Amino acid sequence: MIQAHANEPRELLDAEQVKLVAFLKDNNVKIDKLFWQEESRLSNAMTNSPLKQLIGTEPTFVEDMLGLSFVISPLSFFQVNTVAAAELYSIVGSECTLSHETTLLDLCCGTGTIGLTLAKKVKHVIGVELLPEAIEDAKRNAVHNGISNVTYYASRVEDVMDKIVRNLTGHVVAILDPPRSGVRTLELGEK
């Protein structure tokens, strides 16, 4: 995915797209998909600004991890080092004391990878993610992998957490990846 500054002249942006595709093809660079995004704000990350697909026809990626297959949209977050991510998720699963009585909160869940890889160990997974595209991927990934004990919210975590925890009982584990400042351990029932 290439991100360009949208405040450049339209002719320049269009010409750069053509030059980029020609360069890759002329140099036999093997790329399945290439997306172009224009952003007017200063940013070091991809945003939800519209995408234009310059190479490829299928708009999603597929990645396999821990026996599951994940469909990923270009704007959705997914760990790029799947070997390390699989190891991390396995460690998290073994360290969290999960059981079939556990409700797992997968906060900032992206495409749902952590919760879905641990779903068979818990009673229910609740995923929360800001990007609606990522939540659609998470739902699609749950169906694709035959996982039904999940619920997803497209929202900021702080906007739905009260609603979520109000109805929880029993053992609850929350996973927040990446961690955020200001988050602390909270016992259910604590104000």
pLDDT tens, residue order, the chain (191 aa) = 888 888 888 999 999 999 999 999 999 998 889 999 888 777 655 566 788 999 988 888 888 999 999 988 887 777 888 899 999 999 988 888 899 999 999 999 988 999 999 999 999 999 999 888 889 999 999 999 999 999 999 999 889 988 998 889 889 999 987 666 666 555 545 54
Of the candidates 92, 122, 101, the one whose C-alpha atom is nearest the C-alpha of residue 171 is 101
pLDDT of 182 reads 61
Compute the CA torsion angle 34, 43, 63, 88 (nearest 10 deg).
Answer: 160
pTM here is 0.76
All domains in the chain, ordered by first residue: 2-59 (no CATH), 75-176 (3.40.50.150)
Q: 167: which 2 tokens? A: 């109805």
pLDDT of 46 reads 56
pLDDT of 18 reads 95
With beta carbons less than 8 A apart as the criterion, state whether 104 and 98 touch: yes
